[in-house]
Amino acid sequence: MTTKKSFAVFDSDSHVVEPREVWEKYLEPEYRTLGKFALWREEGEYSSYLKVNGKMFRDTMNCNIPRHAIWKPGMTWDQVGDLDPNRRHAANEGAANPQARLRDMDAMGVDQTFLYPTWFAEGFHLIEDPDVAYALARAYNNWMADFCQAAPDRLFAAAMIPLQNLDYTAAELRRIAKIPCFRGAFIRPMFIEGHYFTHPYYDPLWAELETLGVTAAVHPTAGLWNPEWTSHGPFVEKIKNRLNQRTFVSDAGGGPAAGGGNGVGFSFFASPPLGHPAAPILAPWLDNHMFVASSLIGFTVMQRFPNMKVVVAHGKASWMEEVLEKMEASTRTVPLLNYYPVRTDVEEMWEEGHVMLGFDAEERLIQRLPHQFAEKIVWGSRYPHQDTTSAWDAIEALTQAHVDKPIIARMLGENAAAQFGVKLAQKVGV
């Protein structure tokens, strides 16, 4: 595998894993008890759980393998899959320590990165108390600002914004817009308080993002610990569990086992259980698809706020061609009784809009049609999650697909730096 490059790489989708100090040091003292009630992640010796609004959601997977922070440079996916599930494995130190993070970035061939949350991504938008949500947002953002100070020219982040109260949202957006490391505001595509981003309630959010020049950093989360209906994750897992239920069948073949003679026998058998959760496979794609099709296009956010920048991460990018095709047909042939008039030239609007999609270098359609996607995608490693890939992996995959080097440089660095308003690194690691 190559470990040399002549261009800078900007990782547009990596994660931190929030340490206890967010609650115990950065959260204002008067909110610490309420903050741990509203949102808390417990990593115990024998069990782990996420707590949201006082309700505990235990891990459904083996807690010996922290899949949200298990990957380290040099590991392959097969090695992750072969880990001993009966032994406790430590999380990657780079998930919460900036110096360890920078060492891993060097090993991965990553020059700059954009940081998303993990447990705040999972539960923050579900917090019911707006005042506590606002306090937790400040705590997370202050911790993240200190984290990024370890390398201000390399580490950038999405800020948490308390959508539970749009006055608080605007205030926090205006505050973080003055802190150089924050180049985006985190938005999880999900139902919040029973309504989606297709609601006029969120129009002030889009207006603030556009005015302040803060990118809407949209990132789905599978939602395995969340109640239904938030995102697609809980629904997908429920369907998976139904696939494992016992099935009722009849056997008309006769004989003693079937009830004898010419009778009909009945029996039950259980479907073989799926050995892995299905939501991480399907939910990110479904959540991003819904957000783009319904909110950005269908609810006319793109056309009403044309200068707002958006990055839609962790859901692949190849599906966009299908969305544009279907939206184009729908807007022209189906009467749309919408809150705002919808443009019918959807594909043209998409090309004009400041929206980019996160992609994996393994996506075969992008390898085959690089010129079709080159200007609308940004690469992300997903570090330190179990399915992380390095910049070296991405460069090798695209090079073997005969993608031109200038296009690779655009996909892996230039697009993201421009979209987040960051000066691309001049010194590139080799």
CB 129 within 8 A of CB 30: no
- For position 222, what pLDDT does the model report? 84
Per-residue confidence band for 261, with pLDDT thresholds at 50, 70 and 90: very low
For residues 74-81, give the mean pLDDT.
Answer: 92
The pair of three-digit structure tokens given for residue 125, joined into one six-digit string: 């938008």
Q: Residue 322: how many CA atoms within 13 Å on its side-chain side?
A: 9
Sorted by sequence, the CB contacts under 8 Å of residue 209 that are 6+ apart come out as: 173, 185, 215, 216, 305, 308, 309
Is the pLDDT reported for residue 252 higher than 60? no
**pLDDT per residue as tens digits for the range 272-322:** 666 667 888 888 889 999 999 999 998 899 999 999 999 999 988 998 988
Cα R_g (the chain), whole angstroms: 23
**How high is the pLDDT of residue 259?**
43
The per-residue b/e assignment along 343-382, b for 16 or more CB within 10 angstroms, e otherwise, is: eeebeebbeebbbbbbbbbebebbbeebeebbebbbbbbb
- Write out pLDDT tens, residues 202-219: 999 999 999 999 999 999
Residue 397: both structure tokens together: 């995959």
Residues 6+ apart with CB under 8 A from 136: 27, 31, 35, 38, 39, 120, 124, 127, 160, 162
**Whole-number pLDDT of residue 248:** 53
Mean pLDDT of the chain: 89
- What is the pTM assigned to this prediction? 0.91
Strand order of the sheet with strand 39-43? 39-43, 48-52, 55-58
Whether residue 340 is predicted with pLDDT greater than 60 in this model: the reply is yes
- If pLDDT is split at 50, 70 and 90, which confidence band does 265 have? low
List pLDDT tens digits, range 362-381.
899 999 999 999 999 999 99
Q: Which CATH architecture has domain 10-37+91-226+279-420?
A: Alpha-Beta Barrel (3.20)
Inform me whether the pLDDT recorded for 427 exceeds 80.
Answer: no
Identify the residue whose tokens are 């782990």.
Answer: 48
Pair of tokens at residue 168: 């608080």
Domain residue ranges of the chain, discontinuous segments joined by +:
10-37+91-226+279-420, 232-270
